[in-house]
Structure 1
Amino acid sequence: MTEDNEQISAQTQKSQNFPLSLGLVSVISLAVLNLNHTEPTVPILGFHGLVDMKNTTLALNTNEMQYSKQELEKLLDYLVVNDYWFLSTQDLYDFFLTKSKEIPAKNRQQKPIMISFDDGYKSVHTKLLPILSKLEKKYNKKIKVVLFINPGNLATPGINSKTHLGCQELREGLQKGFYDIQSHGLKHKDLTKLSRRELLRELVQARTILRQCTQDLDPEQKVASHFAYPYGTTNQQVALYVSRYYLTGYLYNNEVLNHTCINNYYQIPRLMVNRRKSPQELIQMAEKQHPINKQESAEC
């Protein structure tokens, strides 16, 4: 057994009869311990693609950022059973950042969390959408996931069709109410290395293409209203131009969002998730970013 597989299969626990990966469950449990609408933190998990760990050869030959489909299903099952609130980017913006809307009564005692996937890998659609449909049928609860998409890499006939999802697949997930489709730049370029003209092209064309793909399903134009920086990199110029076209900007910096302290909506932190991190590392990361002591966690 390889080191990666040892980490993936190591240390499981049971909660309400569901087998769970200690690493991911612990990072969530610690990050939102006793969390309700008055608490200041919201963990935002950042995934990429998915891999079927039953196919050992495939699993061993895929990038470590491709997460186990089986482990993800266990995690989502646990979160649904334990009454988590799966936030969209607009939910986070309206209810926790700007507080422009009052949290609905049905969500006030739920524990907020955001599940995001970057880059628009086809495996997210082929492996994730069936899981979301299965859990909705099982519990009569819908899980919302955020897809940060590079529309310049969307699959078209003969191009990227085996690796990336296409417009029709985005539309399917959006129409079923599972996908929150947001921008990740046009072609996943490091925006900090681009000229102003190139930067604007990455930002504006990404938004335009995504909205054209979904316009009849998105009358309020919530699609491509929020942005995740490719590679998690940004600077003053990038943030300035992102702020002209998007409501928020998401990093990839292994931190938990403290929404009572954040004063820059273009520096929203996310936790990186991959197969290589051991459960112990994920637990330590959560404890460091979210002190268990409530008095400490309330301080900025």
Structure 2
Amino acid sequence: MTEAPVPILMYHSVSTAPNDATRALSVAPGAFAEQMACLADHGLTPVSTAALAAGWRSGRPLPPRPVLITFDDGYEGVHRHALPVLAKHGFAATLFVSTGWIKGAYDMGGGLDTMLDWDQVRELAGAEVEIGGHSHTHPQLDQLRDDALRHELIRCKEIIAEELGSVPASFAYPYGYSSRRVREAVRVTGYAQALAVGNGLARRRQGPYALQRVTVRRGTGIEEFERLVHGRAIARDFARDRVLTKGYAVVRRARQVRRKAIRSRV
């Protein structure tokens, strides 16, 4: 039997006053609360990334009408604004942290807005929020040399394990960028599954290291949100995004080819 597709929602910041760097991908707290109420009203069942992948891997049935709620980077508003709403509904979620952006001993700066600290990450982990990896410094992983790529993946995994006492099972690619080489490195590092972007529904046939998500943005109204979680008109709603993504992918591939050529001459 073919598995039904699953909407994986990708959030970033939840904030009343986002800065310019995060504004487009920041969701207002009131909008987030309305969106979570929408999931509850429509009978969707939020599950963690690990639970979805494990279900598809084993063939065990998933809860009725599963949906994933995911957050990237590690912004403080996930704890301040999103966690109380998730707790109110009893919803599971997944937070993918860039460990070098989280406040604390490993903070390398670079966070685009106010970031979580490790005490807040631990509180989230204790409240049914799966903590996954999102690299150490949030680079474009497919543009890195092999040694730098391994460092980003391993360092992220080690820090999460040290801070939380458990090894992260799930990963999300910064900017959504990956390649066959990156996906293999993620697998070898020990992550059991990984999420891309793609702005489409997740399907089992995508494989555990290339599951697609749909982006929830500040401009996502409740009617568009309902279409996303029901898998309706996604191609139309993200048509402009797809054109821009394809164009930028060509530019990035050309840059990568040039870098390889330069390195081969050195």
Is the pair's TM-score, using the shorter chain for normalization, greater than 0.5?
A: yes
- Per-residue CA deviations over 1:117-170 (Å, capped at 9, x if unaligned) read 00000111111122223x14xxxxx1111101101111128x669711011111
Kindly indicate whether residue 110 of structure 2 is the aligned counterpart of residue 169 of structure 1. Answer: no
The CA distance in 1 between the partners of 2:18 and 2:99, in whole Å, is 27
Corresponding residue for residue 30 of structure 1: none
Contact 2:50 2:193 in 1 (8 A): no
Corresponding residue for residue 90 of structure 1: 50
Between the aligned residues of both structures, percent identity stands at 25
Corresponding residue for residue 118 of structure 1: 72
**Cα gap change, 1:203/1:85 in structure 2, threshold over 3 Å: closer, same or farther?**
same
Corresponding residue for residue 274 of structure 1: 217
1:39 CA drift (Å): 5.1
**Cα gap change, 1:202/1:83 in structure 2, threshold over 3 Å: closer, same or farther?**
same
Q: Of 141, 156, 170, which residue of structure 2 is paired with 1:226? A: 170
Contact 2:46 2:91 in 1 (8 A): yes
Which 5+ residue runs of structure 1 have no aligned equivalent?
Answer: 1-36, 53-57, 137-141, 291-300
> Aligned letter for 1:258?
R
Kindly indicate whether residue 153 of structure 2 is the aligned counterpart of residue 208 of structure 1. Answer: no
Q: Of 85, 92, 97, which residue of structure 2 is paired with 1:131? A: 85
Corresponding residue for residue 45 of structure 1: 9
TM-score, normalised by the number of residues in structure 2 = 0.77
Corresponding residue for residue 257 of structure 2: none
1:210 CA drift (Å): 0.5
1:289 CA drift (Å): 5.3
Q: How many residues align?
A: 228
- Per-residue CA deviations over 1:73-109 (Å, capped at 9, x if unaligned) read 112123224332111111111112x1x16237xx3xx
Kindly indicate whether residue 255 of structure 2 is the aligned counterpart of residue 255 of structure 1. Answer: no
- Per-residue CA deviations over 1:19-47 (Å, capped at 9, x if unaligned) read xxxxxxxxxxxxxxxxxx97511000101
